[in-house]
A and B are shown apart, each in its own frame.
Chain A
Amino acid sequence: MTATQSEHLAIDIQNLDVAYMAGTRQVNVLQGVNLALRPGEVLGLVGESGSGKSTLAGILLASLRTSSFIARGTVHVAGADVFKLKGKGLRDFRASQVALVPQNAGAALTPTMRIADQLAEAFRSDDASTATRAARRSRAIELLRLVRLPNPAAALDKYPHQFSGGQQQRIGIAMALAARPAILVLDEPTTGLDVVTQAAILDTLSRLHAELGMAMVLVSHDLGVIDKMCTHVAVLRQGKVVESGPTKDVLAHPSHPYTRGLLASVPRINAPGIPPSLDDAVIDAYERGETLPAAESAVYERTAPVGTPPVLTVRGLTVDYNRKPHGAPTVLDVDLDVHAGEIVALVGESGSGKSTIANVIAGLQGTKAGVLTLDGETELAATVPRRAKAVRRAIQIIFQNADTSLNPRQTVRDAVNRPLRLFGIRGSSVEAALADVDLPGSFAQRLPGQLSGGQRQRVGIARAVAAGPSLVLADEIVSALDVSVQSSILRLMDRLAREKDLGFLFITHDLAVVRAIADRVVVLYLGRIVEEGTVDEIFGSISHPYTRLLLDAVIELGDDHASAPAPGQDEVPDGPPEQGCPFASRCPLVMDVCRTVRPPVVPVSATHSIRCHAPLNNLRLDLAESATGLV
C-alpha cells in the first residue's frame, strides 16, 4: 500500500509481528496482523484474555511493554509511521492524534490533583482557545458537559475519589477528548461498571462519536457491547486475527469456528440454559486444516430441585454500618431461603449489600438483628469463633477473584488438604476433591502461579467442596473469567449442586448468567429486597421497576440497539432513605406514598413477590413502558 493511501486511513497495520524473547527463543504476541480503519469508523477488538487485544491497542499509541519489540511489519496511525517517531515527534503524536481511555479510570486519574488541573494537562499548549486560565476552565466545563457529568462547574474543583466509578470513567473520557484526537482507543471502558452505568457510558460514547466523528477502537470481551458500538470487528486468538469485517456480517455469519464458539458461549437473557463452552481442540484442528466434530454444542437447561429441605433460612436480617444511631441501616429486614441442591441468585448493582449479606452468613460480619438457621435446626452464631466446627464446615465460600483466593506460596495440595485436615474428614483425598472439579491429580504439586484463571477458580471450588459443605456462598465467581471458561464453571456448579445436594447462594450482577444457572432469584436494591421469585418469573412479564431497569440496561448480541430507549442519567444514591421505598428516587412510577411508607409485599404467585406500591397491572411489561412514557 502506498503512502497516499495510508494517509486516507485512520489506522493501517500491515503484516505486524510483535514479539519478546524468552531466553533465546522468540515468542510472538501478535502475528501477521493486518488491519485498516477509515476515519469515523469504530473497530471492535474481541478475544479472550491473552489473545493480544490489549497489546494491539497499545500499538496504536506507539506503546509496547518493556522487552517486547516489533519483529516485522508497519503501523500507520493518522498517516504517521508510529514506530519511526522519536522524542518530540512521538510526544506530539500522542498529544494530538490518539487518546486512550483505560479500563479503570479511577486508577488512571491522579488522586491528589483536582479535575480541572488534570483536564488542563491534556489541552494542547499551542491551542489558542486554552491560552488563559479562564479559557481553560470554560473548555474543561464544556468537555465535562460533553460527557454528561452532572454539574460540571462544581466538578472541576473536586478530587477523583469524590466521584463514583461511572463518573470517573466519564472524566477519563473527557480527558481523552481534551486534545480533540483523531483516534480514540478504549480498553474495556465499561468492564468494571454495573449494567446501568455501562449502558449510560456507552450511550454517551455513541453520541460523542456521532458528534465528533473520530475513529474509535474499542477493546472488549463483551460481544454485546461490540455489537452495539462497532461498525467493524476483528476477532483475535493467540495473537492472530482469525476473522475481521463489518460487525453485522461477522456476528451474524461467523466463518471461523473460534468466532462461532465465542458467540455460542455467551449466555443470553432471553434464552435460558448454560451455553456450550469453547472447544479448543476443534479450533486447533481447523487451524491445521482438519475438521473435528464439535464435542458439545447444545445449550444445557438446568431443572430446579423439588421439595428439598432448606439448608439456610435467613429471617429479618439487618446490618447497620452507621456508628451513630441516625441514618438508615445498610441492610434491612432481609428474608432468604436456600434449599438443598438449589442455586439461588442474589442480584443487585454494586453497593446493594450483596456481599455484606454473604459475609454475615459466613460469620465475618456482625448483624444488628435477624436469625440465621442452618439445615432447619442450628441457629448460627454471629461470628466464626463462636460457631461449632460442624457449622463452619457446612458453610464454604468461593471467591470472585481466583488470583487472590489462593495463597501464591501454597501448592494446590496444601490448599485443598487444609479443610480435610482441619475438619478431620476421612474417606476423602486431595485427588478426589480435584477429580470433583475435573482437574487431574497431578495438579496437586502446582503453585497457583502455574495455573490458568479457570483452573485456579476450579481449585478454589475444590477447596470449598472438599470440606463437604451443605451451603456454598459463591461471590461473583464467573465475572472475572472469559465467556468460554465461564460456561464450563457454570456447568460444574450445576453438577455439584445436583450430585452433592449443595445449596448455592450465587451473588452476581450479571443477569445473563443468572438466567443461565439460577433456580430462584432475589433482587436487592440498597440492602432491601425488592423482588423475589423463580428465574422464569423474574425474567417474565411482571417485574419490579428496578428489575425492569436492570433488564433494560443489559446489552445483548443481536438486539435492535438503535430502537433501545436511551438510558437515564441517574446515579445510585449514597445510602438508602430513612423511610419509604429505597428505589423512590429513581423509579419511573414513583408516587407520593413511595417516599414515606415502606412498600408492601405484593404476592404475584406462590413463589413470586414484589415490594411495590404500584398496582400489579402497572408493573406488566407492556403497560409499564407506556406508564414510563407518561412520566
Chain B
Amino acid sequence: MTSATISTETVQGTTGMIRSLIRVMRSILRSKSATLGFVLVILHVLLAVLAPLIAPGNPVKNNPAAVLQLPGGPFPLGTDTLGRDILSRTLYGGQYALAVSFTATALAVLLGTIIAGLAAYYGGWVDQLITRVLDSILAVPAILAMLVVVTVFGSGPWVIVLAVVIVYTGGVTRVVRAAAMDVMPKDFITAARARGEGVVYILSREVFPNILDVVLVEFAMRASWVVLLVSSLSFLGFGANPPTPDWGLMVAENRSLMAVVPLATLAPIVFLATLIVGLNLAADGLAKSLGIDRMKEILG
C-alpha cells in the first residue's frame, strides 16, 4: 500500500515536471535569441565532449617541423610556436573551461541554495549571522579572492572549483534567500510547520519547488561569469597549466604573435565569446519563459 502510494506520487510528480518542462521549452523556442543561446551552449558542450573524435590532430603534440604554419593542408587553422594544431587545441580547449566552470557553478548554486534555505527557514540570529558573513566575503573583489586562493593552494582544477565556490556562493545565497523569504510566510508553510514537518521536508518539498525558477536562472547567469573568470585566470597563468589546451591559456601564449598567426589568438577568443554570449542569451530566455510561466499560473 505504502510503496504503491509512493510510486503513484512519484509518477504524478514526474509527469508534472515533464509537462512544465515542455511548457518552458515551448516558450524558449518562441524566442529567437533564447533559442540561439541554447543552441550555442549545446553546440559548445557537444564540441568539447566530442573533441577526441572530431579533432584532426593531437592537441599537445609538438611538431618542430611545422611551426607557425598558416591555415591550409593538414592544419585547417594553422599551428602555433611549438607546431601544435590550433584547430585541435581550440576544440579541446573548451573541455577545461566548461568542466571547471559548470562543476564550480553547480556546487556554488547548490551550496548557496541550501544556505539560503536555512537562513530563510530559521530567520532571526541564524539569518543575521549567515547574511553578515556572506556580505563580508562579497566585499572582496572576485578576481582578487581567487588569486589569493590559487596562490595558497596551487592551481589544480579542484582548487579553481573551490575558489569559485567561495567567491560566488555568497551572491547566490543573497538572491535565493530573498526568493525563499517570499515563500516562507505562505500558509502552506505554516500548515507544514503545524503538522510538525522537519526542516528537510519543508525546504525540499515546500520551498525549493517554488523557487526553482530563480535557482535555474541564477545558475545560467553565474555560469557565464564563471566561464569568463576561469578563462581570465588561465590567461593570467593561474588556471590551466601548459601544455593543457585551454582558451585563456592559448590567448596568453599566442597574443605576441598576433601579426604572424592571427588565428591562434582569434579562434579561442571567438569560441569563448560565443559560449559566453550563448550562456547570457540562454539565461535571459530562461528567466523570461519561467517568468511567463509564473504569470500564467497567477492568472489561472
In the bound complex, do residue A404 and residue B194 qualify as a contact, i.e. CB atoms below 8 Å apart? no
Q: Which residues of A contact B2 (CB under 8 A)?
A: 421
B279-300, CB under 8 A of A: which get 1 and which 0?
0000000000000000001101
Query: With the chains together, A422 CA to B198 CA distance in Å?
Result: 11
- Are A417 and B9 in touch, CB under 8 angstroms? yes
Known: A411-B12, A414-B12. A406 touches B188 (CB 8 A): yes
Report if B206 contacts A (CB, 8 A). Answer: yes
Taking a contact as CB atoms under 8 Å apart, the answer to whether B16 and A411 are in contact is yes
Chain B 177-196 residues near chain A, CB threshold 8 A:
186-188, 190-191, 193-196
Nearest to A420 among chain B residues (CB) is B5
Please determine whether B196 and A387 come into contact, CB atoms closer than 8 angstroms. Answer: yes
Residues of B near A387 (CB, < 8 A) are 196
CB-CB under 8 A from A401, the residues of chain B are 187
- Interface residues as binary, A443-484 with B (CB distance below 8 Å gives 1, 0 otherwise): 001010110000000000001000100000000000000000
Q: Is A23 an interface position by the 8 A CB rule?
A: no
Residues of B within 8 A of A325 (CB): none
A410 in the interface (beta carbon within 8 A): yes
CB pair A364–B193 under 8 Å, yes or no, is yes
In the complex, the chain A residue whose C-beta lies closest to that of B6 is A421
- Bound CA–CA A363/B194 (angstroms): 7
Shortest beta-carbon distance from A516 to chain B in Å: 24
Q: Is A629 an interface residue (CB 8 A)?
A: no
Q: Is the CB of A413 within 8 A of B16?
A: no
Known pairs A406-B188, A407-B209; A414 contacts B9 (CB<8 A) = yes
B210 interfacial by beta-carbon distance below 8 Å: yes
Is A347 engaged at the interface, CB distance under 8 Å to the other chain? no
Which parts of A389-446 form the interface with B (CB within 8 Å)? 389, 392, 395-397, 399-401, 404-411, 413-415, 417-419, 421-422, 426, 445
Is A407 touching B16 in the complex (CB atoms < 8 A)? Answer: no
- Check B196–A392 contact: CB distance below 8 A: yes
User: Any chain A CB within 8 A of the CB of B197?
Assistant: yes
- Minimum CB–CB distance from A271 to chain B (whole Å) comes to 32
Q: Given that A392-B194, A392-B196, A414-B9 are known contacts, is A449 also in contact with B187, CB under 8 Å in the complex?
A: no
Question: Contact residue range for chain A?
Answer: 35 or more
Which residues of chain B from 1 to 51 have any CB-CB distance to chain A below 8 Å in the complex? Answer: 1-2, 5, 8-9, 12-13, 16
Task: Please give, as numbers and ranges, the residues of chain A lying within 8 Å of B13 by CB-CB distance.
Answer: 411, 414
CB of B122 to closest CB in A, whole Å: 13
Assess whether B194 is in contact with A422, with CB atoms less than 8 Å apart: no
Q: Which residues of chain A are within 8 angstroms of B9 by Cβ–Cβ distance?
A: 413-414, 417
Q: Specify which chain A residues have a CB less than 8 angstroms from the CB of B190 in the assembled complex.
A: 364, 397, 399
CA distance A449 to B293 in the complex (A): 12
| Contact A362 to B297, CB < 8 A, known contacts A409-B209, A413-B9 | no
Nearest neighbor of A399 in chain B, beta-carbon distance: B187
Q: Which residues of chain A come closer than 8 Å to B5, judged between CB atoms?
A: 417, 421
Alpha-carbon distance between A303 and B190 when the two chains are bound, in angstroms: 32
Q: Cα distance A421–B190 when bound, in Å?
A: 18
Interchain CB contact under 8 A, B12 and A405: no
Between A363, A414, A417, A418, the greatest number of chain B beta carbons within 10 A of the residue's beta carbon is seen for A418
Q: Are A392 and B195 in contact, CB atoms less than 8 angstroms apart?
A: yes
Interface centre among A362, A407, A467 (most CB of B within 10 A): A407
Say yes or no: B186 contacts A404, CB within 8 Å: yes
Give chain A residues whose Cβ lies under 8 Å from the Cβ of B297: 408, 447, 449
Chain A residues near B212: list those with CB within 8 A. 409
Residues on A with beta carbons closer than 8 Å to the beta carbon of B206:
407, 410
Which residues of B have CB within 8 Å of A467? 195
* Residue interface mask B212-223, A partner, CB < 8 A = 1: 100000000000
Is there contact, CB below 8 Å, between B210 and A407? yes
Q: B254: shortest Cβ distance to chain A, in Å?
A: 50
Residue contact A409 to B210, C-beta cutoff 8 Å: yes
CA A409 to CA B5, docked complex, whole Å:
19
Shortest distance between the CB of A412 and any CB in chain B (Å): 10
Q: CA separation between A410 and B20, bound complex, in Å?
A: 13
State whether the Cβ of A565 lies closer than 8 Å to any Cβ in chain B: no
Q: Is B300 a contact partner of A449 (Cβ separation < 8 A)? A: yes
With the chains together, A384 CA to B198 CA distance in Å? 10
Closest to A405 in B: B187
Q: Determine whether the beta carbon of B196 is less than 8 Å from that of A362.
A: no
B300, closest chain A residue (CB): A449
Q: Given A406-B188, A409-B210, decide whether A384 and B193 contact each other with a Cβ distance below 8 A.
A: yes
A384 touches B209 (CB 8 A): no
Q: Which of A399, A406, A410, A422 contacts B195 (CB 8 A)?
A: A422
Question: How far apart are the CA atoms of A392 and B193 in the complex, in Å?
Answer: 10
Distance in Å from the Cβ of A398 to the closest Cβ of chain B? 9
Residue of A nearest to B209 (CB): A409
A404 touches B300 (CB 8 A): no
Chain B residues with CB under 8 Å of A406's CB are 188
Which residues of the other chain, B, contact A87 by a CB distance below 8 angstroms?
A: none
Shortest B206–chain A CB gap in Å is 6
Q: Using known A-B contacts A413-B12, A421-B5, determine if residue A397 contacts B191 with beta carbons closer than 8 Å.
A: yes
Give CA–CA (A399, B189) in the complex, Å.
11
Contact of B197 among A362, A364, A399, A422 (CB under 8 A): A422
Report the minimum CB–CB distance from B19 to chain A (whole Å): 10
Cα–Cα distance between A507 and B212 once the two chains are bound (Å): 35
B1 neighbours in A (Cβ, 8 Å): 426
A293: chain B residues at CB < 8 Å are none
Residue pair B195, A418 in contact (C-beta under 8 Å): yes
Q: Is there a chain B Cβ closer than 8 Å to A385's Cβ?
A: yes
B194 contacts A463, C-beta separation under 8 Å: no
Q: How far is the CB of A68 from chain B (nearest CB, A)?
A: 12
Contacts of B16 in A (CB 8 A): 409, 411, 447
**CA of A364 to CA of B12 in the docked complex: distance in angstroms?**
31
For window 245-300 of B, CB contacts with A under 8 Å fall at 297-298, 300
Distance, CA A426 to CA B1, complexed state (A): 10
A415 contact set on B, CB distance < 8 A = 188
- Complex Cα distance, B133 from A527, in Å, reads 40
Closest to A423 in B: B195
Closest to B197 in A: A422
Contact A397 B194 (CB under 8 A): yes
Tell me if B196 and A404 are in contact (CB < 8 A).
no
Q: A385 CA to B199 CA in the complex, in Å?
A: 11
Q: Please determine whether A404 and B12 come into contact, CB atoms closer than 8 angstroms.
A: no
- A452 → chain B closest CB, angstroms: 9
- The chain B residue sitting closest to A463, CB to CB, is B191
Tell me whether A408 and B300 are in contact in the complex, defined as CB-CB below 8 angstroms, given that A384-B194, A397-B190 are known contacts. Answer: no
Residue of B nearest to A402 (CB): B187
Expressed in whole angstroms, the Cα–Cα distance for A470 and B210 within the complex equals 31
What is the CB-to-nearest-CB distance from A450 to chain B, in angstroms, rounded to a whole number?
8
A467 to B192, CA, bound (A): 12
Could you tell me the distance in whole angstroms from the C-beta of A299 to the nearest C-beta in chain B? Answer: 31
A464 and chain B: residue at smallest CB distance:
B191
Chain A residue contacts of B210, Cβ below 8 A: 407-409
Closest to A389 in B: B196
Which residues of chain A are near B196, meaning CB under 8 Å?
384-385, 387, 389, 392, 422
Across-interface contacts of A407 in B (CB, < 8 A): 186, 188, 205-206, 209-210
Q: Which residues of A contact B298 (CB under 8 A)?
A: 449
Can you offer 19 A-B residue contacts whose CB atoms are under 8 A? A364-B193, A384-B193, A387-B196, A397-B191, A399-B191, A401-B187, A404-B188, A405-B187, A406-B188, A407-B186, A409-B16, A410-B206, A411-B12, A413-B8, A413-B12, A417-B9, A422-B195, A426-B1, A449-B300
Chain A residues close to B by CB (< 8 Å): 362-364, 384-385, 387, 389, 392, 395-397, 399-401, 404-411, 413-415, 417-419, 421-422, 426, 445, 447, 449-450, 463, 467
Known A-B contacts: A392-B194, A414-B13, A449-B297. Give 18 more (CB < 8 A): A364-B190, A384-B193, A384-B196, A392-B196, A396-B194, A397-B190, A397-B191, A399-B190, A400-B187, A401-B187, A405-B191, A407-B186, A408-B297, A409-B209, A410-B206, A419-B195, A421-B2, A447-B16
> Closest 8 A-B residue pairs measured CB to CB?
A409-B209, A405-B187, A399-B187, A392-B196, A404-B186, A407-B188, A449-B297, A404-B187
